[in-house]
């Protein structure tokens, strides 16, 4: 595990910085739509910020998987299908810590833990700013961010995206190629195959 952290600490920090930048982007969009007092706009901009964040994770983790491809095919590296998910889970350690303290403050009524939980909830709203627009939607009379389990659930899209994109990179499959038009082979490509 120590070797894993050593080899991928840069990737983890980069993922966290991507999250931080996306959080600021999402938070600004939510504040603008809140100023406009338009709930539909708030939900739409929040969904866009989430998709932008997941796309950043996808491209980054795809490149990690593609870089590992040569080593795996040559037999120099072991195939680790969970690598993308593990990197994402490690990059989400601050979010997990916040979620744990928020959960503890929900179930344990001790002054210090309640205060730590409140601080963590405030920090989580900012650090996970791309989700803020959706978290303030009321469900059963309360906004989603008042439920402790939502702080665990919002980690899942990042982990699942990194899991899938790492595998796509490892097997050299591009999800973005679904949107590219198909071009016929050029004459130069045909001559090269002969």
Tokens of 128: 């996970």
User: Distance of alpha carbon 186 from its chain centroid, rounded?
Assistant: 38
- What angle, rounded to 10 degrees, do the helices at 111-127 and 93-107 form? 140
3-state helix, strand, coil in the chain (%, to 5): 80, 0, 20
179 pLDDT band, cuts 50/70/90, is: low
pTM: 0.82
Q: Is 3 exposed, middle or buried (0-12, 13-18, 19+ CB in 10 A)?
A: exposed
Say if residue 89's pLDDT is above 80. yes
**pLDDT value at position 3?**
82
Report the residue count for the chain.
Answer: 194
Dist. CA 122–CA 56, nearest whole Å? 25
User: pLDDT: is 88 or 140 the higher one?
Assistant: 88
Question: Widest CA span of the chain, in angstroms?
Answer: 77
pLDDT digits (tens, 9 = 90+) for 38-79: 888 888 888 999 999 999 999 999 999 999 998 888 888 888
Dist. CA 77–CA 178, nearest whole Å? 29
Q: Using an 8 Å Cβ cutoff, are 53 and 95 in contact?
A: no
Q: Is 48 exposed, middle or buried (0-12, 13-18, 19+ CB in 10 A)?
A: middle
Poorest-confidence range of 47-51, 71-75, 100-104, 165-169? 71-75
Query: Could you give the percent of the chain with pLDDT greater than 90?
Result: 38
Q: Using an 8 Å Cβ cutoff, are 105 and 20 in contact?
A: no
Q: Which H or E run includes 47?
A: helix 39-74
SS3 172: coil
């Amino acid at each position: 595990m120590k070797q894993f952290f050593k080899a991928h600490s840069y990737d983890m920090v980069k993922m966290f910085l991507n999250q931080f930048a996306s959080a600021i982007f999402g938070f600004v969009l939510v504040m603008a739509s809140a100023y406009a007092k338009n709930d539909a706009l708030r939900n739409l901009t929040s969904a866009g910020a989430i998709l932008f964040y997941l796309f950043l994770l996808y491209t980054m983790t795809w490149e990690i998987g593609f870089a590992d491809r040569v080593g795996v095919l040559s037999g120099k590296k072991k195939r680790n299908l969970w690598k993308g998910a593990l990197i994402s889970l490690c990059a989400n350690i601050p979010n997990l810590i916040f979620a744990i303290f928020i959960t503890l403050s929900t179930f344990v009524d001790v002054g210090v833990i309640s205060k730590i939980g409140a601080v963590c909830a405030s920090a989580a709203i900012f650090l996970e700013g791309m989700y803020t627009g959706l978290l303030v939607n009321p469900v059963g009379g309360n906004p989603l961010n008042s439920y402790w389990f939502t702080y665990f659930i919002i980690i899942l899209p990042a982990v699942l995206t990194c899991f899938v994109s790492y595998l796509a990179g490892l097997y050299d499959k591009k999800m973005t190629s679904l949107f590219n038009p198909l071009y016929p082979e050029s004459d130069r490509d045909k001559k090269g195959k002969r």
